[in-house]
Amino acid sequence: MDLQAKRDFGSFHASNVEELLSISEQEYVPPEIPFSLPFSNYSFQGLNHVYFGKKSKEMFFLLEENCCFLNHGAFGGALKQALDTVHMWQRYTESQPLRFFDRQLLPLLVHVSRRLAAFVGCDPKDLVLVNNATFATNSVLSSFPFAPKDVILTFNITYGAVKKHVQYICSKTGAQNREAVIQFPVHDKQQVLDVLEKELSRGDIKLVIIDHIPSNTPVIMPVEDMIQICRQRGAKVLIDGAHALGALDLQLTKMDPDYYVSNAHKWLCSPKGVGFLYVKRELQSGIRPAVISHGFGSGFCSEFVWSGLHDYSSMLSLHTVLDFWLVLGPDRIRDYMYKTARAGAELLANSWSSQFAAPLEMFGTMALVELPATVMSEHETVDYNAAESIQNILYHDYNIEVPIKSVQGHLYVRISAHIYNEVSDYQKLAQAILSIAQKKYLKYHKSL
Ligand SMILES: Cc1ncc(COP(=O)(O)O)c(C=O)c1O
């Protein structure tokens, strides 16, 4: 082991992270886990009896039974067995804090990192664990060597907090932000590619930020094609895949983005505080973590592995989350989520005689369906306030948790579908919106 790397971590016993990540899969010996984990004893047959829908809500989640929860996309929903694992790690940590942090933590983090890298199809040396997508995006944006007049291309659908950070970076470096507009409803992927081509042809773009699945308008972006187009024009690409891990079959080496960030605490259902950053090998030396600590100067993965003393239990609980996905089958889980989201979206559009914000095949675990015009009384304007008010009525009067979005002068509902949802959930939503429309109609006409 490289003695200097040990000293870099300020400890006699810290392991060399880069070295542990370089060991081949055949030769790698994982560290021992000091207790038995949920799911690790299940055989594939053992969970064959698991049905998706209401049964799995009770079996795997802590979600309230009576709440019609159609907003997994916002803050996810952690597997209860993974929360148990978090608690086990917390108790174990405190049983001998020195042993845990000084001797055991880094190899344990490398182990989950290696497993996650295998899950998303990349080399473990190209991926680092972070607390969330925000940390990862901050790290890339604040490391990127922007010069005055360089252009950062974002879209109208870019995540709000990222737009703000881009503004901040521009104010610090003299770079400029250009925002491309995607019009809704989207007709096909070519429409998106044309917008990108047109912007890139204007020149000076150094970095393009693409939301793989935008938060407000969850159309799956054709990122593979977009990466190729950017590369041909010499622009680097940062993909914000906060919603992608679990929702899509990620194969990062094949996709080959420059930078990719994602969250495990959304669709993968990990406890809060777990995400990752992928950086293409030749760009890694230019990226610093948003928080600099002991690993500085010891290599990409070492720099990110320790961001000061905090609770690393959620990261370590990824074992349970990945066991869950592998035992139940990622394709089977995604197939259920997609079919349920699409069936739900069709049910809503049929009940309200309304349209989708994009062709159904461009959606995955979420979909955006326009609300019927009747849900607005004649004197109301379609805006953020109207969206908020309908969302609040659904929450307070119907116990339905679902976001309403105001997009380019139209109101949409953004539905989510995870394994605990069933088509009957969307039936409830369809009825609730019709009854809100009916009540508004009656109230308006009584007041005349
Ligand atoms: C597209 C997108 N990017 C980034 C984020 C930020 O994620 P986090 O708060 O976990 O950092 C979100 C959260 O919803 C998101 O939807």
Task: Tell me the CA–centroid distance for residue 135 and ligand 1, in Å.
Answer: 10
Q: What percent of the chain clears pLDDT 70, i.e. is strictly above it?
A: 93
Helices 330-352 and 318-328 pack at an angle, to 10 degrees, of 80
Sign of CA dihedral 330, 333, 339, 341: negative
Tell me: pLDDT of 1 over 50.
no
- Outline where 233-360 has alpha helix (H): 252-255, 300-305, 313-316, 318-328, 330-352
| Residue 108 in this model has a pLDDT that exceeds 50 | yes
Q: Confidence class of residue 40 from pLDDT cuts 50, 70 and 90?
A: confident
User: How does pLDDT run across 179-193, given as a tens digit for each residue?
Assistant: 999 999 999 999 999
pTM: 0.96
> For a pocket test of ligand 1, which of 240, 260, 268 has the largest count of ligand atoms closer than 8 A to its C-beta?
240
pLDDT of residue 16: 87
The Cα 126–Cα 121 span in angstroms is: 10
Q: What is the tens place of the pLDDT at every residue in 282-330?
A: 999 999 999 999 999 999 999 999 999 999 999 999 999 999 999 999 9
Q: How many whole angstroms from 245 Cα to the centroid of ligand 1?
A: 12
The stretch 380-389 carries a mean pLDDT of 90
User: 445 or 142: which carries more pLDDT confidence?
Assistant: 142
Our answer on whether the CB atom of 52 is closer than 6 Å to any ligand 1 atom is: no
Mean pLDDT is lowest, of 38-42, 103-107, 411-415, 426-430, for 38-42
Confirm or reject: Cβ of 240 under 6 Å from ligand 1: yes
Nearest to 226 by CA among 197, 198, 252, 266: 197
Cα 256 to its chain centre, rounded Å, is 18
Q: Return phi, psi of residue 444, to 5°.
A: -65, -45
Q: Counting beta carbons within 10 angstroms of the beta carbon of residue 308, is it exposed (0 to 12), middle (13 to 18) or buried (19 or more)? A: exposed
Q: Report which of 411, 298, 413 is spatially closest to residue 8, judged by C-alpha positions.
A: 298
C-beta of residue 288 within 8 angstroms of C-beta of residue 140:
no
Q: Which two tokens stand for residue 352?
A: 């309200």
CA–centroid distance, 415 to ligand 1, in Å, is 17
- Each as own residue / partner, the long-range contacts of residues 55-58 (CB below 8 Å, 24 or more positions apart, any chain) are 56/419, 56/420, 57/420
* Ligand 1 atom nearest residue 135's Cα: 11
d(CA 220, CA 142): 27
Ligand 1 contact via 242 beta carbon (within 6 Å): yes
**Alpha carbons 73 and 217: distance in angstroms, whole number:** 11
CA 132 to ligand 1 center in whole angstroms:
8
Long-range contacts at 280-283 (CB < 8 A, ≥ 24 apart) = 280/126, 280/256, 281/123, 281/125, 281/126, 283/236, 283/258, 283/259
133 lines ligand 1 (CB under 6 A): yes
pLDDT top residue among 191 and 50 = 191
Cα(236)–Cα(258) distance, integer angstroms? 6
C-alpha dihedral sign at 410, 400, 364, 273: positive
Within 7-92, strands assigned E span 68-69
Helix spans in 174-277 (H): 189-200, 223-232, 252-255
Q: At residue 85, does pLDDT exceed 70?
A: yes
Atom in ligand 1 nearest the alpha carbon of residue 265: 10
Tokens representing 438 are 């009916």
Alpha carbons 437 and 448: distance in angstroms, whole number: 17
> Whose alpha carbon is nearest atom 16 of ligand 1?
215
Q: What does the pLDDT read at residue 185?
A: 97
Ligand 1 within 6 A of 416 CB? no
The pLDDT mean for the chain works out to: 94
Contact 258, 238 (CB under 8 A): yes
Degrees, nearest 5: CA angle 169-130-22: 115
Residues 224-247: tens digit of each pLDDT: 999 999 999 999 999 999 999 999
Q: Which of 156, 166, 215 to mutate to test the pocket of ligand 1 (most atoms within 8 A of CB)?
A: 215
Does 211 sit in the ligand 1 pocket, CB within 6 Å? Answer: yes
- Cβ–ligand 1 distance for 243 under 6 Å, the answer yes
Q: Which of 1-15, 168-182, 433-447 has the lowest mean pLDDT?
A: 1-15
